[in-house]
Amino acid sequence: MGGSVAWQMAKWLKAPTAFRRVIVAAGGGAGIAAVFSAPLGGFVYAIEELLNSARPAILLLVVITTFIADSSADIIQALGLDPKAGGFDFNLGFLIQKEYDPSVFFLPIDFIYLVLLGIIIGIFAELYSRYVLLMQNLGKKWYKNKFVLKMSICGLILGSIYSFLPSTFHNLDELQKIIAEQNTSIGIALLAVLVLFITTGLAAASGAPGGLFYPMLTLGGSIGLIMGSWVEIATGHAPSTYIFAGMGAFVAGCSRTPITAMFLAFALTKNLLIMKPVLISCIASFLIARAFNEESIYERQIQIELED
């Protein structure tokens, strides 16, 4: 959505065509920085996924944009949107926000477990990407330019599905929280995987603008929770970082951005110790998913939209 806003602004300002890609990348990075309080994650995403460039002028533009977006979001929250968010205090200035505070232990044997988790999630992430793309393509072919009808039907189906679900599913923040803090059952985690898998595809079919990062994080965390529980039952041990490694791995597998995914997981905990185990799963997932298709879900979505 940040990229979409940036694209529209670039058209309004009549920016040169060659420069619009940079503006869109900066907008996408700014969106991630503001939503996840992760300016580094937004910066790396813009460079890693959208630009593939390291020219000083571009790096400076993206750095400024992402850090301004993150700072502005914290200040606006403090002014009234969410005073308890904790990103900014008028007496103390900017503060470190920790959404979660997991216990992080990283043993040598965990390397194998984390690689296996990355492999499994890499396969699942590619299946998820293909499903979302299929639904987006079907929505475009079946309804063409009938946007109101398309959104109405998809909205009716989505509303019907969620009406039968527990109240936890009505708030994605709350769902992610209970999964990240392991305050739920394996049954709820399995249901979360099924529901988010199906509903994000329906949302893509509707053509309505919306983000995939948040569902990806929740899906990955749910798979990490499920796999961690099964592995612990089978072997008596599971890495303490499985949930956040799952979050990062799922994002890496879909977006083909393992470094960005690592920083997003780090942004949720602000714990440097979590970066190494998360990166292991992210790289494994990235390599497996890339073996099926080199292009990320976003690149393939753009190709669908550009088709006649």
Distance CA 192, CA 216 (A): 11
Handedness of CA 233, 234, 236, 237 (dihedral sign): negative
* Residue 290: per-residue pLDDT: 92
* Residue 3: per-residue pLDDT: 59
Is 157 part of any domain?
yes
State pLDDT tens for residues 220-230.
999 999 999 99
Residues 214 and 300 in one domain: yes
The whole-model pTM stands at 0.77
Question: How many structural domains is the chain composed of?
Answer: 2
Are the beta carbons of 24 and 7 closer than 8 angstroms?
A: yes
Q: SS3 for 241? A: coil
State pLDDT tens for residues 76-98.
666 655 545 555 555 555 455 66
Residues 258 and 145 in one domain: yes
Domain extent at residue 8: 2-94
The whole-number average pLDDT for the span 116-129 is: 95
Q: What is the CATH number of the domain that holds 261?
A: 1.10.3080.10
Are the beta carbons of 74 and 35 closer than 8 angstroms?
A: no
Is 104 part of any domain?
no
Residues 284 and 138 in one domain: yes
Residues 45 and 150 in one domain: no
208 φ/ψ angles, rounded to the nearest 5 degrees: -75, 140
